Amino acid sequence: MQCPDDSDDMAQSEEDVRLRKEAVAWVICLQNSRITKEERRAFEVWQAQSPQHALIYRTVSRVWDSPELTAAASVVAGASPSWLESKPTFSLRWPVLAAACLVFVVLLADHFDISIRWQADYQTGVGERRTVELPDQSIATLNTQTALALSFDGTTRRIRLLKGEVFLKVQHDAERPFFVESADTTVRAVGTAFVVRTDAGGDRITVLEGAVEVESKAKTGFPVAVTAGSQIQTEPHHLSRPQAVDMTTASSWMRGRLVVQNVPFTQVLEELQRYHAGRILLMNRQVGHINVTGTYNVDDPAGALALLLQTVPLSTISLADRLVILF
């Protein structure tokens, strides 16, 4: 028995890609209520070409019938999908489901809530980093999808982190304390460098230089001092204990990198989603617990996702680079 060489593997991979594209096109066509008898017969001929044709069609069909996609089927669009580079020779009509998903993603991705836009003095979009000098000459570096509101006066310097993650290099001023407020915490700093991140899972504060004092807005305990090389985060109704962290890894996003060590695939995917302009849907939950180690370039989220997918047994469907389905 002779093992296949690299060219065989490449040909097989290209064949799989071609079949997946054709299967997606047929799924879309068959959901159209105006499908003709000729189109139906053409599909049956296509599916009967090989067991692989039928298998890939069933797999793609399950993805399109998933609750995540059908929940978005409330918007109708009339454009044909540009991502179908190779499609069967039939009159293709873009169905409500596919249009709804694509429009839903386009509307939501890379947009802040209107209320946040109104409040923010500085903000970044998806995949954008921005460094600004504050009125007191402190430096703020905003990570992807971040918004800040400033309130500086003669007695206090106060920043509200409305969304996202920010690195702050604070200019010392003994007469005006420096505060960062987010959803769950208030951080006080004097002449220090630290990162504050807020999201649905709570707040996380990482100190790179000096020290800060962190207080929970739940008022369930005393303020906690956090020193350089340590990180603290909010837990239900209280603050965790400060934990030592690798500062190079914790601040890697400022260099455009995501560094992970034995982190579950689902968590890594959630991090990449923050930098990806489209929506990534993981349909195969069985791979979510696979641990991943690696360094990923978040300035190239599509490339980072492709590199990540080399570590797990998943197939992909991409819709106009706005919706990536992993199954």
Write the pLDDT tens digit of every residue in 184-207: 999 999 779 999 999 988 999 999
Helix and strand element counts for the chain (H, E): 9, 19
What are the tens digits of pLDDT across the range 100-142?
A: 445 444 444 434 466 687 889 999 999 999 999 999 999 999 9
Q: If you average pLDDT over residues 141-156, what whole number do you get?
A: 96
CA geometry: angle 225, 229, 234, nearest 5 deg: 55
When computed from its CA atoms, the radius of gyration of the chain, rounded to whole angstroms, is 24
How far, in Å, CA of 259 to CA of 245, rounded?
13
Residue 47 has pLDDT above 50, yes or no: yes
Residue with tokens 């009339």: 78
What proportions of the chain, in percent to the nearest 5, are helix, strand and coil? 30, 30, 35
How far, in Å, CA of 169 to CA of 133, rounded?
10
Helix, strand or coil, per DSSP, at residue 203: strand
pLDDT at 22: 82
pLDDT at 69: 52
Q: If you average pLDDT over residues 17-23, what whole number do you get?
A: 77
Q: Could you tell me the pLDDT band of residue 64, with boundaries at 50, 70 and 90?
A: low
How far, in Å, CA of 279 to CA of 268, rounded?
15
How far, in Å, CA of 327 to CA of 325, rounded?
6
Residue 275 has pLDDT above 70, yes or no: yes
Residue 257 has pLDDT above 70, yes or no: yes
Contact (Cβ atoms closer than 8 angstroms) between residue 304 and residue 280: no
How far, in Å, CA of 140 to CA of 151, rounded?
14
Share of the chain above pLDDT 90, in %: 50
Q: Could you tell me the pLDDT band of residue 12, with boundaries at 50, 70 and 90?
A: very low
Residue 4 has pLDDT above 80, yes or no: no
How far, in Å, CA of 122 to CA of 273, rounded?
22
Contact (Cβ atoms closer than 8 angstroms) between residue 260 and residue 294: yes
Q: If you average pLDDT over residues 41-60, what whole number do you get?
A: 87
- The alpha carbon of 8 is separated from its chain's Cα centroid by a whole number of angstroms, namely 34
DSSP string, 238-279: EEPPPEE--HHHHTGGGGTEEEEEEEEHHHHHHHHHTT-SSE
How far, in Å, CA of 276 to CA of 97, rounded?
22
Q: Which tokens sit at 142?
A: 């905003």
Q: Tell me the C-alpha to C-alpha distance, in Å, between residue 253 and each of 26, 129, 189, 272.
A: 41, 9, 22, 11
Residue 34 has pLDDT above 80, yes or no: no
pLDDT at 11: 42
Mean per-residue pLDDT over the chain, rounded: 80
Nearest to 323 by CA among 83, 93, 117, 38: 83
> What pTM was estimated for this model as a whole?
0.71
pLDDT at 221: 74
Q: Could you tell me the pLDDT band of residue 92, with boundaries at 50, 70 and 90?
A: very low
**How buried is residue 263: exposed, middle or buried, by Cβ count under 10 Å (0-12/13-18/19+)?**
middle
pLDDT at 14: 64
**Backbone φ/ψ region at 204: left (φ over 0), alpha (ψ -120 to 50), beta:** beta
Q: Could you tell me the pLDDT band of residue 321, with boundaries at 50, 70 and 90?
A: low
Strand partners, 133: 139
pLDDT at 75: 32
Domains with residue ranges and CATH for the chain: 6-108 (no CATH), 119-245 (2.60.120.1440), 256-326 (3.55.50.30)
